[in-house]
């Protein structure tokens, strides 16, 4: 035993001592009482302090920072014995007084605004409220939409593209494309004056703006030459407008009268274009479409013969502005007759379409395109001479009273 005890460590000896002590209840109880007495002595002496957790410390600090508010008057009154019904009646009475004050202030403002409105109405009678303007626009919206759809179909306002594939389809409705719709003419014909955005939105879906591929190859030579001269004078600050219609209006009483456009009216036959006389000495450049003739050697069988051919060129000219003004005045007389005849024909054609009866028909036929026929397998000789057949396509429209039918003719050559 002595050898075994000598070989034990201090920790083993202490563990064995604690086990022997706890095995006896009396020794265990005396040990616990002794520990409690020692803890109390150390606490009184300040050797041991209260160990609190972090959360407990934060809670204690937070409670120290809290400041309790004073008790509300309601609680004081309730403490004095005031009932809840009495307190609610007092609150509602106080709220009603505040609302009455607010209503009286609003009535005063309304009275002053009405007085101001009456003064404005007395000064000017043309003031419309926003609601009145909106109602007027909505009243004219149906007429505006109808006019925006009818205007492009008139020949002098737009140009139809004659290609077979130049169509546009929307909602299973196929239409031929139309180009160049003029808003200025729409404004001159109607009483309403919509903005360009509204006019563009109300236009039919088959009316498109021209692009680079939509070249205009059927222009009138008289109209184009007048436009070129007016544009050149406008760039030189001699004319105030670059529109031919504005220039014609300055020299005529009424564009729809035969006497005015043919120069037979006593009131306007001597009118001249309004120009700036200070800029007549300027040098002006302008272009003109001219038809020239030239002698060329052409092959006639085996021999070469000299023939006179004619061709159209766009030539550029330059001279003083006074010379161009004289040329414009000379060309303007012919242009007014041409303009009156063109518009009268369109106007009469539209009138006849609207006044048709059940027994009348109108045929409108025009040349469209030439097509050369080809074979899938051809000999070399088919490429030369008149071996291939040619078809000329003539498109037309047959107008009935309330309808129109399209057709095409294709005679062979």
pLDDT, tens only, 370-406: 778 888 888 888 877 777 888 888 888 888 888 888 8
Sign, CA torsion 237/240/246/250: negative
Could you tell me if residue 258 is inside a domain? yes
- 178 shares its domain with 245: no
pTM summary value: 0.50
CA atoms within 13 A on the CB side of 30: 6
Residues of the chain with pLDDT under 50: 1-2, 77-79
pLDDT number for residue 372: 81
Phi-psi region of 49 (alpha: psi -120 to 50; beta: other; left: phi over 0): beta
Last residue of a domain, one of 175, 208, 241: 208
- 180 shares its domain with 146: yes
Could you tell me if residue 113 is inside a domain? no
What is the distance between the alpha carbons of residues 339 and 254, in angstroms, rounded to a whole number?
13
DSSP 3-state of 262: coil
- 230 shares its domain with 183: no
What is the distance between the alpha carbons of residues 178 and 155, in angstroms, rounded to a whole number?
10
* Helix 244-251, helix 321-354: angle, nearest 10: 90
Could you tell me if residue 94 is inside a domain? no
Q: How many helices (H) and strands (E) are present in the chain, helices listed first? A: 14, 10
pLDDT number for residue 388: 81
314 within 8 A of 289, measured Cβ to Cβ: yes
pLDDT number for residue 2: 47
Last residue of a domain, one of 156, 173, 208: 208
How many domains are there within the chain?
A: 4
Residue 182 domain boundaries = 130-208
Q: What's the length of the chain? A: 413
- 143 shares its domain with 31: no
Could you tell me if residue 240 is inside a domain? yes
Could you tell me if residue 57 is inside a domain? yes
368 within 8 A of 394, measured Cβ to Cβ: yes
Could you tell me if residue 41 is inside a domain? yes
- 239 shares its domain with 331: yes
**312 token code pair:** 């159209």
Could you tell me if residue 190 is inside a domain? yes
What is the distance between the alpha carbons of residues 119 and 112, in angstroms, rounded to a whole number?
11
Q: Kindly report the number of other CB atoms within 10 A of residue 324's CB atom.
A: 23
- 392 shares its domain with 347: no
- 195 shares its domain with 251: no
- 182 shares its domain with 246: no
Could you tell me if residue 103 is inside a domain? no
- 264 shares its domain with 195: no
- 36 shares its domain with 160: no
260 within 8 A of 253, measured Cβ to Cβ: yes
Last residue of a domain, one of 157, 179, 208: 208
Quick one: DSSP state of residue 393?
E
């Amino acid at each position: 035993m002595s050898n075994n005890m000598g070989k034990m460590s201090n920790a083993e000896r202490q563990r064995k001592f604690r086990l022997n002590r706890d095995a006896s209840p009396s020794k265990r109880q005396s040990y616990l009482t002794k520990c409690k007495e020692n803890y109390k002595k150390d606490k009184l002496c300040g050797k041991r302090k209260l160990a609190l957790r972090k959360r407990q410390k934060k809670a204690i600090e937070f409670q120290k920072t809290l400041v309790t508010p004073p008790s509300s008057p309601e609680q004081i009154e309730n403490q004095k014995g005031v009932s809840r019904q009495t307190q609610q009646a007092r609150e509602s009475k106080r709220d009603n007084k505040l609302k009455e004050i607010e209503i009286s202030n609003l009535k005063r403002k309304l009275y002053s605004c009405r007085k101001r409105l009456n003064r404005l109405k007395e000064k000017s009678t043309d003031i419309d409220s926003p609601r009145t303007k909106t109602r007027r626009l909505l009243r004219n919206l149906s007429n505006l939409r109808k006019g925006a759809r009818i205007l492009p179909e008139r020949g002098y306002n737009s140009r139809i593209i004659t290609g077979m594939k130049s169509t546009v389809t929307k909602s299973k409705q196929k239409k031929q494309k139309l180009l160049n719709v003029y808003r200025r003419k729409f404004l001159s014909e109607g009483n309403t004056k919509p903005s360009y955005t509204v006019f563009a939105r109300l236009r039919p879906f088959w009316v498109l703006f021209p692009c680079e591929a939509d070249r205009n190859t059927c222009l009138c030579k008289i109209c184009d030459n007048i436009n070129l001269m007016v544009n050149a004078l406008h760039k030189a600050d001699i004319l105030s407008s670059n529109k031919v219609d504005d220039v014609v209006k300055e020299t005529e009483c009424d564009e729809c009268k035969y006497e005015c456009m043919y120069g037979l009216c006593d009131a306007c036959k001597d009118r001249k274009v309004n120009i700036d006389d200070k800029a007549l000495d300027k040098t002006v450049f302008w272009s003109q479409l001219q038809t020239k003739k030239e002698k060329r050697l052409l092959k006639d069988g085996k021999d070469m013969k000299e023939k006179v051919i004619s061709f159209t060129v766009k030539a550029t000219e330059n001279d003083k502005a006074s010379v161009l003004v004289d040329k414009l005045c000379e060309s303007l007389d012919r242009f007014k007759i041409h303009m009156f005849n063109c518009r009268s024909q369109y106007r009469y054609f539209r009138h006849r379409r609207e006044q048709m009866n059940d027994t009348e028909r109108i045929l409108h036929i025009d040349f469209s395109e030439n097509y050369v026929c080809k074979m899938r397998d051809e000999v070399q000789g088919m490429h030369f001479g008149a071996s291939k057949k040619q078809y000329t396509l003539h498109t037309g429209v047959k107008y009935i009273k309330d309808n129109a039918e399209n057709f095409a003719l294709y005679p062979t050559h």
